[in-house]
Amino acid sequence: MFTRVRSDIQCILDRDPAARSTWEVLTCYPGLHAVVLHRLSHWLWNRGLKWLGRFISMLSRWFTGIEIHPGAKLGERVFFDHAMGVVVGETAEIGDGCTIYQGVTLGGTSLYKGTKRHPTLGRNVVVSAGAKVLGGFVVGDGAKIGSNAVVIKPVPAGATAVGIPARIIPSKDDTSADVTGQPEKFSAYGITLEDDPLSQAMKGLIDNAGSHEHQIALLWQAIEKLSQERRSSSDCVPLDAQTKENFEAEKLTQLVGK
């Protein structure tokens, strides 16, 4: 048990730059307290002491603000970061190295007892603040769930889910996280500008418009040069012809984010 606690503390030190010492994490991180108390309630639940397991789970909720059903399964190095208001359902499973932020719900959409009602998170999944993952499906290893996303279908390994209902953005390199530990590059809150489809679409349109203006300016310059050689510039080149580039692509790109 103490080995697992040391591993839990180390994963927090690795992922939270605000964590300054082992003692601080041990005494001041409710996410760690919730995980430790859940292990006790889960142990009791699996040995038929259902009420006692639920009671400890309720105490954990009072002290930490994190509600984890004693029937849920948690892997190693699971980090609940700023996790006030997190709800984890009875049949949910959270894999090794996952990070869960505040306001997340791992919920169910079925009322049938004895069925898999809640999601299964693979290894090194990041679920951002306010996200709702609803249903008995699998979120693959290394996947990321964006803030306030509502996920109601499986998410492939390494993919990103954003929006309501969530849109699935496939992994760029078709690779998932390291199976032995954390991802090679941990991104806090899961989502970066590279994962925002609207931002990427805007950047593509800006680049395309800038390229078109550049080509048009080159064409008018070529026509102007030919006209001057033939001494007929006023006949071939309109007065409002745009022979210089004025499109501020770089400035627009900065507005949508680099």
Q: Residue 215 — pLDDT band, cuts 50, 70, 90? A: confident
Q: Which residues fall within 8 angstroms of residue 133, CB to CB, at 6 or more apart?
A: 104, 105, 106, 107, 119, 121, 127, 139, 145, 151
- Say if residue 222 is exposed, middle or buried (CB neighbours under 10 Å; 0-12, 13-18, 19+): exposed
Query: Could you give the CA distance from residue 170 to residue 153 in angstroms, rounded to a whole number?
Result: 14
Best-predicted range by mean pLDDT among 40-49, 110-119, 195-204, 206-215? 40-49
Question: Is 96 found in the same domain as 201?
Answer: no
Grade residue 74 by pLDDT with cuts at 50, 70 and 90. Answer: very high
Does residue 126 register a pLDDT over 50? yes
Does the global pTM surpass 0.85?
Answer: no
Stretch 162-167: mean pLDDT, rounded?
A: 86
Within this chain, do residues 176 and 135 fall inside the same structural domain, yes or no? yes
Q: Is residue 257 assigned to a domain?
A: no
Q: Are residues 37 and 85 both part of a single domain?
A: yes
Distance CA(152)–CA(198), nearest Å, equals: 21
Residues 200 and 182 in one domain: no
Q: Does 154 share its domain with 200?
A: no
> In terms of domains, do 114 and 157 share one?
yes
Q: Residue 219: phi, psi to the nearest 5?
A: -65, -45
Give φ, ψ of 214 to 5 degrees. Answer: -60, -45
Average pLDDT, the chain: 82
Kindly tell me if the per-residue pLDDT of 183 is higher than 60: no
* Pair (102, 207) in one structural domain: no
pLDDT value at residue 229:
66
**Cα gap 249→55, rounded to integer Å:** 60
Least confident of 14-23, 174-183, 244-253: 174-183
Residue 142, both tokens: 């290394």
The pLDDT score that the predictor gives to residue 210 is 74
| Domain count within the chain | 2
* Co-location of 181 and 201 in the same domain: no
Minimal CA–CA distance to 198: which of 158, 165, 169? 169
* pLDDT given at position 181: 46
Give the pLDDT of residue 131. Answer: 93
Considering the domain architecture, whether residues 180 and 200 belong to the same structural domain is answered as no
Say which residues have a Cβ less than 8 Å from residue 54's Cβ, sequence separation at least 6.
41, 45, 70
DSSP one-letter code for 155? B
pLDDT of residue 4: 84
Which has more confidence, 93 or 203? 93
The model's pLDDT over 140-154, given as tens digits with 9 standing for 90+, comes to 999 999 889 999 999
pLDDT in tens, 19-51: 899 999 999 999 999 999 999 999 999 999 999
Cα 143–58–94 angle (5° rounding)? 15
